[in-house]
Amino acid sequence: MTYCVGIKLNAGLVFLSDSRTNAGVDHISTFRKMIVYERANDRFMVLLTAGNLSISQSVREILQVEQLKDPDGEPITIWNARSMFDAARVLGQAVRRVYDRDAEALKNAGVEFNISLVFGGQIKGEGMRLFQVYSAGNFIEATLETPYFQIGESKYGKPVLDRVITPDTPLDEAAKCALVSMDSTMKSNLSVGPPLDLVEYEVNRFQSDKIVCIDMANPYYRMLHSSWGQKLREVFDSLEDPVWDDTHTDTPLKVPTAVNKPLKKISRPEEKLI
Is residue 12 a contact partner of residue 202, using CB atoms and an 8 Å limit?
A: yes
- Report the candidate in 176, 140, 133 with the shortest Cα–Cα distance to residue 157: 176
pLDDT at 259: 61
- Report the candidate in 219, 237, 229 with the shortest Cα–Cα distance to residue 183: 229
pLDDT above 90 (res 131): yes
Among positive and negative, which fits the CA dihedral 24, 152, 186, 184? Answer: negative
pLDDT at 10: 98
- If one counts every other C-beta atom within 10 angstroms of the C-beta of residue 20, the result is 21
| Mean of per-residue pLDDT scores for the chain | 90
Higher pLDDT pick, 46 / 194: 46
pLDDT above 60 (res 75): yes
How far is 5 from 216, CA to CA, in rounded Å?
Answer: 19
What are 85-130's pLDDT values in tens digits? 999 999 999 999 999 999 999 999 999 999 999 999 999 999 999 9
CA dihedral in degrees (192, 193, 197, 201; nearest 10)?
50
Per-residue pLDDT band for 217 (boundaries 50, 70, 90) equals very high
pLDDT above 70 (res 270): no
Q: Taking the model in full, what pTM does it have? A: 0.88
Three-state SS at 221 = helix
How far is 101 from 85, CA to CA, in rounded Å?
Answer: 25
Three-state SS at 140 = strand
Mean pLDDT of 38-62: 95
DSSP state of 270: P
What are 136-154's pLDDT values in tens digits? 999 999 999 999 999 998 9
Is residue 16 a contact partner of residue 178, using CB atoms and an 8 Å limit?
A: yes
> What residue ranges define each of the domains in the chain, with the CATH number in brackets?
3-217 (3.60.20.10)
Task: Break the chain down into helix, strand, coil percent, rounded to 5.
Answer: 30, 25, 45
Share of the chain above pLDDT 90, in %: 73
